[in-house]
Amino acid sequence: MRDLLLAPLPLTFEALFVFLLVASLVGRALARRRPEDATIRNANDRIRSWWAISVILAITFAFGTTATILLFALVSFWCLREFLSLTPTRLADHYALAAAFYLFLPLQFALLLWPWPGVFVIAIPVYGFLALPALSLVFGETDDFLQRVAKIQWALMLTVYALSHAPALLLLRFDDYPAGPFGLLAFLLLVTQGSDVAQYLAGKRFGRTPLAPRISPNKTREGLLYGGGAATVLGGALHGLTPFGFWGALAMAAVLVAAGALGGLVLSAVKRSLGAKDWGTMIEGHGGMLDRMDSLAFSAPLLFHLANYFWAV
Amino acid sequence: MILEAVLVGLTRFLVGGRAYWLGAQPTSRQRIYFANHRSNADTVVLWAALPPPLRRRTRPVAAQDYWAHGRLRRLFALDVLHAVLIDRGGGRDALDPLHEALAEGCSLIIFPEGGRGPGPAPLPFKSGLYHLALAHPGAQLVPVWLDDVGRALPKGVSIPIPVSTRALIGAPIAPDPGETRDAFLTRARDAVVALGLSLHPDLPVAPPEPPHA
């Protein structure tokens, strides 16, 4: 029992829950002192959401690979729904959209369970790329054809293809890797989401210089520097979850932080071009599901490919 | 009960359909919810958006020619939605089942355009709403804007796609003493359009021209 609790992955979850407990207690104390403060209320909403997300992840991990793939398929579904709800689409795209939801999304995650691992990497970029514009022909509508086709393909690449690389980490095999495949997924989630949280906190505390005022007015250089730095150090500290060793984990965490920050900015720009502030209202304090997943969509494929290229057997 | 949970669960999962109570609270008062109509899914989305106790005493008014067609659709219309089926071409006494349902104390969901319009702006309202309002002054008339349901299941296709839809529920209206039928119907339509304008400032306000006018 003692060995089980001290293995890298369970220990990480225990540390996470202790951290959330401290955060909840601090948040409650702050809310009591300043009950009217909107920032504190939002922070407490976010802490509650993190509790829910962490508990759901811990339970799903315990159920194993298939359950985890299914969970990410669901997350992907909600992200795609949020993305396409904000994106203007037309009746003429109805069957292409139906194929994106009912064919390519389930196919992508089912292929993770397929014994031939190469297929999930090409399903959407090759078969989706060719099939979806063909389906957009059904109504014979040529107005804005290229824009319509591009929107659907981009949405699918981002919310389904890119996000599916998070559970795809479970397929990689490494020599001398005691934490097991779930360790690497936990590493990805903790560093990417930890970076978002640390940047938010550092931005609130030290933020002065806007990073990209027209794209994302709340992000600051100080937030990115200190928060991203903290997340990189966190990644180094979590090297026990990875097969990379300390310096490898530190470097990989830096890549994930950079990719995640760019993901957040790109998705902010998309959101703004569509005239919205949040992708949805699903997660208390955060906005929509895609507001939480934007950085992960950019960091997950990078971790998958770099780990696969340099370390996997 | 199980079928109701299945239908509501599926609706939430695919198209969301969250209710925003902007001008009225979800109370047990007798009401006639009237909404814009672009999709065959409108009925289910608005019905599923209501909290369960209200949902069970709110009956959607649905066209017999669509909902009584096919065994499964009929089962859902009659046993799950408890729809009041009406004959669209039936003239004045087509409203009789509605008067009956209101007299029994039920609330109703109606689509006063009398059919699904071609664009986002609602068609001119038919007079049924006015007659119901005069005959049942105890029932509150509550405007509803159903947003994006027409994208999830547009006219002419049979597979819905997942799009987050919303039901915006506005402030009740009532015919003023001396107000003409047409003035009231225009005002009722304006109340629905105003809710839509709060989401889409560029929504065309004027009703679409009938094709053969």
DSSP B107: E
Asked, for residue A43, whether it belongs to a domain, the answer is yes
- Domain range for B67 is 22-199
A122-131, A177-186, B163-172: least confidently modelled range: A177-186
**pLDDT over 80 (residue B212):** no
Work out the average pLDDT over A20-36: 90
Among residues A63, A78, A110, the one where a domain terminates is: A63
CA dist A285 and A41 (Å) reads 8
- Domain range for A4 is 1-63
pLDDT 10s digits, B26-59 = 998 999 999 999 998 999 999 999 999 999 899 9
Asked, for residue B145, whether it belongs to a domain, the answer is yes
- Any CB–CB contact under 8 A between B147 and chain A? no
DSSP A209-233: SBSSTTT-TT-BHHIIIIIHHHHHH
Among residues A42, A63, A84, the one where a domain terminates is: A63
Among candidates B16, B18, B154 on the partner chain, residue whose Cβ is nearest the Cβ of A94: B154
Among candidates A82, A94, A280 on the partner chain, residue whose Cβ is nearest the Cβ of B161: A94
Residues of B in contact with A280 (CB under 8 A): 164
Among candidates B156, B159, B163 on the partner chain, residue whose Cβ is nearest the Cβ of A85: B163
CA dist A232 and B35 (Å) reads 53
Identify the bridge partners of residue B32 per DSSP, sorted by sequence position: B108, B141
Residues of A in contact with B161 (CB under 8 A): 84, 94, 97-98, 101
pLDDT 10s digits, A145-204 = 999 999 999 999 999 999 999 999 998 888 878 777 888 999 999 999 999 999 998 988
User: How many percent of chain B have pLDDT more than 70?
Assistant: 96
- Any CB–CB contact under 8 A between B156 and chain A? yes
Among residues A41, A63, A85, the one where a domain terminates is: A63
With an 8 Å Cβ cutoff, are B163 and A82 in contact? no
- Any CB–CB contact under 8 A between B91 and chain A? no
pLDDT 10s digits, A275-291 = 777 777 666 666 788 88
Asked, for residue B207, whether it belongs to a domain, the answer is no
B141: left (phi over 0), alpha (psi -120 to 50) or beta: beta
Among candidates B151, B154, B164 on the partner chain, residue whose Cβ is nearest the Cβ of A82: B164
With an 8 Å Cβ cutoff, are A85 and B164 in contact? yes
Asked, for residue A107, whether it belongs to a domain, the answer is no
With an 8 Å Cβ cutoff, are A97 and B156 in contact? no
Among candidates B156, B161, B164 on the partner chain, residue whose Cβ is nearest the Cβ of A97: B161
Asked, for residue B9, whether it belongs to a domain, the answer is no
Minimum CA–CA partner of B12 in chain A = A78
For residue B213, name the pLDDT band (cuts at 50, 70, 90): very low
With an 8 Å Cβ cutoff, are A91 and B156 in contact? yes
Tokens of B101: 């349902």
- Any CB–CB contact under 8 A between B201 and chain A? no
Dihedral sign from CA coordinates of A230, A236, A237, A242? positive
C-alpha distance from A277 to closest chain B C-alpha (Å): 14
Judgement on whether residues A59 and A182 belong to the same structural domain of the protein: no
ipTM for this prediction? 0.85
DSSP B71: H
C-alpha distance from B151 to closest chain A C-alpha (Å): 7
DSSP B7-35: HHHHHHHHHEEEEEESSS---SS-EEEEE
- Select the residue from A75, A94, A151 to test the B interface by mutation, using most B Cβ atoms within 10 A: A94
Asked, for residue A198, whether it belongs to a domain, the answer is yes
Asked, for residue A71, whether it belongs to a domain, the answer is no
Asked, for residue B211, whether it belongs to a domain, the answer is no
CA dist A248 and A40 (Å) reads 36
Work out the average pLDDT over A261-268: 94
Asked, for residue A97, whether it belongs to a domain, the answer is no
Cβ neighbors of A157 (< 8 A, separation 6 or more) are A124, A125
Strands B140-147 and B165-169: antiparallel
Q: Are A179 and A240 in contact (CB under 8 A)?
A: yes
For residue B193, name the pLDDT band (cuts at 50, 70, 90): very high
Asked, for residue A125, whether it belongs to a domain, the answer is no
Mean pLDDT of chain A, nearest integer: 89
The domain tally of chain B equals 1
With an 8 Å Cβ cutoff, are A101 and B18 in contact? no
Cβ neighbors of A241 (< 8 A, separation 6 or more) are A8, A9, A12, A179, A183, A184, A186, A187, A190, A249
With an 8 Å Cβ cutoff, are B151 and A77 in contact? no
Strand runs labelled E in A67-141? none
C-alpha distance from B202 to closest chain A C-alpha (Å): 13
Among candidates A81, A84, A98 on the partner chain, residue whose Cβ is nearest the Cβ of B159: A98
Give the per-residue pLDDT at B210.
61
Asked, for residue B113, whether it belongs to a domain, the answer is yes
Work out the average pLDDT over B97-107: 92
The domain tally of chain A equals 2
CATH number of the domain that B85 lies in?
3.40.1130.10
**pLDDT over 80 (residue A6):** no
Asked, for residue A79, whether it belongs to a domain, the answer is no
C-alpha distance from B154 to closest chain A C-alpha (Å): 7
With an 8 Å Cβ cutoff, are A91 and B161 in contact? no
Mean pLDDT of chain B, nearest integer: 89
Asked, for residue A231, whether it belongs to a domain, the answer is yes
CA dist B165 and A263 (Å) reads 26
Asked, for residue B2, whether it belongs to a domain, the answer is no
- Any CB–CB contact under 8 A between B187 and chain A? no
